[in-house]
Structure 1
Amino acid sequence: MIKKLKEFLLINIGIIMVACGMYFFLMNNNLATGGANGLAIVINHFIPKVPVGIIMIVINIVLFIVAFIFIGSSFGVKTIYASFGISFAVLILEKTINLKGSLTGDILLELIFGILISGAGMGIVFNQNASTGGTDIIAKILNKFFHINLGKAVLLSDLSITVAAAFAFGIKMSMYAMLGVIINGFVIDAVLEGINMCKEVTIVSKEYEKINQFIIKDLDRCSTFYNGRGGFTNKEKNILVVVIGRREVGKLKHYITEVDKDAFITVSNICEVLGYGFKS
């Protein structure tokens, strides 16, 4: 129950971040940086009386109907919730906060801030095994019927929207939007890696048994032993490897230095871990 509530809370935080990044920085500058939101910004240019939030809702309804027909229901309830949640959040912002024009007058600055905020929000949503819908659905259809790699399919879908933006807002704004699409991919990857990042610690020590017991009992982690041979001493050695959270690295290093000041330790970044004690 607690896990579900945490998941629900994080998805909502992601939704709010995406909506705020869009409304305060991207929409007022006509930066159609891909996705259903980008397409909605382009359509709103030709039908200005219809709010972007309403257009996003209509686009998502159409896309989900297409998805049910061609893909099935595999994209999940959380994706439906997240995509419509963003649409409604944008609509609420449009109705409650009347923004006219750019906040700073600097398009590049607002593009960067808008992408950083919305991209981070998308990363949070993706980390909860959900999606923001939109071009993800188009990408899945392209992948299924034309066997295009998902990553390339998403990029192709988003870039097609930025090309459409050229007809609505001109080449300059279209190029800004393309830059935003590229930056957005890096931001999402960085957020996902940052959230899921763990540490792999490799330890060579004569007190490996004590260290192993500390890992199991105090850190509640599993470890693995390898047999090795020292290149200089030519002696047999036991190599202990463990994957732990970032906060646990300090505790482990402190304990190791207490029991064996001559221990050899390496620490590496691990982007994601699946299994006991981590994500299922």
Structure 2
Amino acid sequence: MKFDFKRFLIINIGLFVLACGLHFFLNPSELAVGGTTGLALIISNLIPKLSYGLLLAFLNITLFIIAFIVLGREFGGYTLYASMALSGILLILELFIPIEAPFTDDLFINLVFGMLIVGVGMGFVFNQNASTGGTDIIAKIINKYSHIEIGKSLLIADFLITLFASFVFGPRLGMYALLGVIINSLVIDKMIAGFNVKINMIIISNEYDKINNYIIHEIIRGTTIYHATGGFSNEDKRIINTIVDRREYIKIRDFVKSVDHRAFVSISYVTEVEGEGFTYD
């Protein structure tokens, strides 16, 4: 498995953001919002002598074999690292920045801000084809075989944990935890969609040949040219269709303006693209 420094860096940024959401907002408020992080919080509450960070590491180990077998060595390797790194970051935060009380007195504010921060962190990690272990692995398996969005898959996997939390911490905290899981699901799906968003461009211009050559040879993207007839002018037209990322779109848009200021350009956003130049070579 070839080491990818950029991917490694993004995963670590996500883990740090995730750990901050847990340490400063959710754990002090006893908001067990699913996952092994929530289960570890429940168990550490029942057995106070157990370290939360160490308990989290222990719980995650039981799911790694499944990740390696079902989701592959690459996913399993990054997941193993991510879960251990998350436990380590939480242990460091416990030692150097201990939190004795919730960040604020308002439980709802702790929940919303905590889940927004956690969701952003998990979005970074999931987008790099890794997870933080625990029910994240189960969610990834559900996503792989059912194509249910990863956030909704995580919602399914975490429901039982929040149900357990309602018995340990009371129905009020349990319902807050369930609300947190729903927020987390929505944030993760939005984050991943934002990472993967592409732009579908439709260009109609008399200079279609120049524009097409620019996209193919300068942007290095494929195009499709449609033959059409203008409904109003009754003239033959050439329609260029291509899918690009945001940066490429800006370059193409500016080039089109420079060669034909009367060109018609229409764009739409797509959140999943598979095929040449996107998911495989």
Aligned residue in 1 for 2:253: 253
How far apart, CA to CA, are the structure 1 residues paired with 2:114 and 2:232? Answer: 54
How far apart, CA to CA, are the structure 2 residues paired with 1:148 and 1:256? Answer: 41
With over 3 angstroms needed to count, the CA separation of the structure-2 counterparts of 1:181 and 1:169, relative to structure 1, is same
How far apart, CA to CA, are the structure 2 residues paired with 1:64 and 1:98? Answer: 29
The answer to whether 1:197 aligns with 2:211 is no
Q: CA deviation at 1:229?
A: 2.1
Aligned residue in 1 for 2:6: 6
How far apart, CA to CA, are the structure 2 residues paired with 1:142 and 1:254? Answer: 42
Structure 2 runs not aligned, ≥5 long: none
CA deviation map 1:177-221 (0-9, x unaligned): 111111111111111111121211100111101111222233232
Q: CA deviation at 1:134?
A: 0.7
Q: CA deviation at 1:232?
A: 2.1
Q: Number of residue pairs matched?
A: 277
Overall identity of the aligned pairs, in % = 46
> When the two structures are superposed, what TM-score results if normalisation uses the length of structure 2?
0.88
How far apart, CA to CA, are the structure 1 residues paired with 2:263 and 2:225? Answer: 15
With over 3 angstroms needed to count, the CA separation of the structure-2 counterparts of 1:195 and 1:150, relative to structure 1, is closer
Structure 1 stretch 261-270 or stretch 245-254: which is displaced more? 245-254
Tell me if the contact between 1:70 and 1:141 (Cα under 8 Å) persists in the aligned partners: no
Q: CA deviation at 1:155?
A: 2.6
Spell out the pairing of 1:155-174 with structure 2 (5 A cutoff).
155-174=155-174
Aligned residue in 2 for 1:109: 109
Structure 1 runs not aligned, ≥5 long: none
Q: CA deviation at 1:251?
A: 2.6
CA deviation map 1:109-163 (0-9, x unaligned): 121111111111111111111122211344578899xx98866664333011111
- Cα RMSD (Å): 2.7
Aligned residue in 2 for 1:36: 36
Structure 1 stretch 123-132 or stretch 256-265: which is displaced more? 256-265
How far apart, CA to CA, are the structure 2 residues paired with 1:270 and 1:220? Answer: 19
How far apart, CA to CA, are the structure 2 residues paired with 1:42 and 1:82? Answer: 22
Tell me if the contact between 2:123 and 2:191 (Cα under 8 Å) persists in the aligned partners: yes
Tell me if the contact between 2:208 and 2:238 (Cα under 8 Å) persists in the aligned partners: yes
Aligned residue in 2 for 1:57: 57
Q: In structure 2, what residue type is equivalent to 1:104?
A: T
Q: Secondary structure at the match of 1:239?
A: strand
Q: Secondary structure at the match of 1:28?
A: coil
Q: In structure 2, what residue type is equivalent to 1:37?
A: T
Aligned residue in 2 for 1:97: 97
Spell out the pairing of 1:102-251 with structure 2 (5 A cutoff).
102-139=102-139, 154-251=154-251
Tell me if the contact between 1:205 and 1:262 (Cα under 8 Å) persists in the aligned partners: yes
With over 3 angstroms needed to count, the CA separation of the structure-2 counterparts of 1:33 and 1:205, relative to structure 1, is same
With over 3 angstroms needed to count, the CA separation of the structure-2 counterparts of 1:148 and 1:222, relative to structure 1, is closer
How far apart, CA to CA, are the structure 2 residues paired with 1:253 and 1:277? Answer: 20
With over 3 angstroms needed to count, the CA separation of the structure-2 counterparts of 1:149 and 1:251, relative to structure 1, is closer
